[in-house]
Amino acid sequence: MLRTDTDTAFRTLSHVLRELERSWGRIQDLGLLGARERIASVLLDLPRDREHPEQILLPFTREELSEVTGLTLETVSRHMSWLKRSGIIQEEKGRILLRDHQALSELAAEPARSVV
C-alpha cells in the first residue's frame, strides 16, 4: 500500500520522524538533565485537560514516573515535593495543577546541576 499511495507513505514517514525526534529528545534528557529537570520535562510532555489546560492529566503513579525518568521513587517523591513547596505544581487525585508553567519550562531547559 505504501508503494502505491504516496500520500499515505509521506504521512507515515512524517509520523515516524516525529516519534524519532521525540525519542531522541527523551534520550538526551536522560543523559543531560538532572533529576528535577527530567521530572519537569516529563510533566510538560504529559497530556493536558482540554477544558483546563493548566491541568496536567497524570496517567501514572510516582513509581511509574520514576521508571520513565530513570530515577528512584525516593528521588521523584523528593523533587515532586519540592515542586509543590515552590508553588510550581499542586497535586490532586489523578491530576497536577500547573501553578507556574514558566518556572517548570525553565527547569526543564536547565542543564544538569547539583541535587538538593
13-68 pLDDT, tens digit each: 787 877 767 666 656 555 667 889 989 988 888 767 677 777 777 777 889 889 98
The answer to whether residues 96 and 51 belong to one domain is yes
Domain match, 27 and 43 both? no
Domain co-membership, 38 together with 62:
yes
State what percent of residues in the chain have pLDDT above 90.
21
Same domain for 2 and 52: no
> 62 and 52 in one domain?
yes
Cα separation of 44 and 57, whole Å? Answer: 11
Domain containing residue 18: 1-32
Total domain count, the chain = 2
- Same domain for 92 and 43, yes or no, is yes
Same domain, 9 and 46: no
**Considering only CA atoms, which of 89, 63, 86, 85 is closest in space to residue 76?**
63
| pTM of the complete model | 0.67
Q: What is the DSSP letter of 50?
A: S
Average pLDDT, rounded, for the chain = 80
